[in-house]
């Protein structure tokens, strides 16, 4: 039975993903969610179609005489690539995320950040950070706010905060207005993929002290 998804991407995120303007970390969260969510995938397909129409309607640009030759030289000098067909994943991690991790859950290199919570920072461009978070069942992430945008996608289990409950496939989009304390549901450890473009604002002293070293 397919998981019911109740919390989706915002139109702004989907439009930016379609236009290719999101930071790599945010694009990874969007791509992972879209691989799980038929609704958001259809929305992004519609944005892609609109973008294609706009390109077709744009006027022709003037090209220099050697434009084709210059383009072919750049292609020839670039690395050889092989196009791969999209693949389905049978594990907990959807295929876009497995490509970054190098496998499923057993391939993740977790690092403890205290109170049973663990993280694994993924290799992305420096304009935003993507991390996997492991929150033991019944445990909480310290109360915090946001200096920028944070997108959190649930991959296993569920968590609740002052806003709502978020289960597998759900996305929570947080900004400077949200102050919350996510708590993992009892019964199953919660694993999330989160992307941030600015450090979090922790209220307690110990998390604030540690966040410089943990890159949170």
pLDDT at 84: 40
Mean pLDDT value across residues 31-44: 94
Pairwise CA distance, residues 170 & 182, whole Å? 14
- Is residue 174 domain-resident? yes
Q: Give me the percent of the chain exceeding a pLDDT of 70.
A: 76
- Is residue 88 domain-resident? no
Residue 114 pLDDT > 60 = yes
Helix or strand or coil: residue 116? coil
Instruction: Round the average pLDDT of the chain to a whole number and report it.
Output: 82
**How many independent structural domains does the chain possess?**
1
Q: Which residue has the higher pLDDT, 212 or 81?
A: 212
CA 113 centroid distance within chain: 20
- Is residue 6 domain-resident? yes
Pairwise CA distance, residues 133 & 126, whole Å? 19
Mean pLDDT value across residues 101-118: 91
- Is residue 126 domain-resident? yes
Helix or strand run (H / E) with residue 145: strand 144-146
- Is residue 123 domain-resident? yes
Residue 156 pLDDT > 60 = yes
- Is residue 51 domain-resident? yes
39-97 pLDDT, tens per residue?
Answer: 999 999 998 886 554 444 455 566 676 777 777 777 777 554 443 434 445 678 999 99
- Is residue 143 domain-resident? yes
Domain of 190: which CATH number? Answer: 2.60.120.10
What is the 8-class DSSP label of residue 175? -
pLDDT at 175: 86
pLDDT at 50: 67
Residue range of the domain that includes 58: 1-83+93-216
pLDDT at 91: 79
3-15 pLDDT, tens per residue?
Answer: 689 999 999 999 9
pLDDT at 76: 73
Of 10-24, 83-97, 168-182, 201-215, where does mean pLDDT reach its minimum? 201-215
Q: Taking every pair of C-alpha atoms in the chain, what is the biggest distance, in angstroms? A: 67
The predicted model scores a pTM of 0.78
- Taking each helix axis as running N to C, give the angle between helix 38-57 and helix 11-19, from 0 to 180 degrees, rounded to the nearest 10: 50
- Is residue 142 domain-resident? yes
Residue 216 pLDDT > 70 = no
- Taking each helix axis as running N to C, give the angle between helix 24-34 and helix 11-19, from 0 to 180 degrees, rounded to the nearest 10: 110
pLDDT at 81: 43
Q: Which residue has the higher pLDDT, 152 or 142?
A: 152
């Amino acid at each position: 039975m397919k998981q019911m998804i109740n919390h989706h991407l915002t139109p702004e995120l989907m439009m930016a993903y379609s236009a290719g303007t999101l930071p790599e970390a945010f694009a990874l969260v969007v791509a992972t969610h879209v691989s799980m969510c038929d609704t958001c995938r259809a929305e992004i397909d519609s944005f892609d179609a609109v973008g294609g129409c706009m390109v077709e309607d744009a006027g022709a640009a003037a090209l220099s005489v050697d434009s084709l030759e210059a383009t072919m030289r750049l292609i020839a000098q670039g690395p050889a690539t092989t196009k791969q067909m999209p693949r389905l994943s049978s594990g907990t991690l959807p295929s876009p995320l497995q490509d970054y991790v190098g496998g499923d859950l057993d391939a993740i290199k977790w690092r403890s950040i205290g109170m049973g919570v663990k993280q694994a920072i993924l290799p992305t461009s420096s304009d935003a950070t993507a991390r996997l978070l492991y929150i033991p069942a019944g445990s909480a992430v310290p109360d915090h706010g946001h200096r920028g945008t944070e997108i959190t996608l649930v991959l296993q289990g569920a968590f609740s905060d002052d806003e709502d409950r978020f289960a597998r496939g759900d996305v929570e989009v947080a900004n400077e207005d949200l102050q919350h304390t996510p708590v993992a549901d009892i019964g199953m450890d919660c694993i999330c993929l989160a992307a941030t473009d600015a450090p979090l604002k922790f209220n307690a002293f110990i998390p604030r002290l540690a966040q410089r070293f943990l890159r949170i």
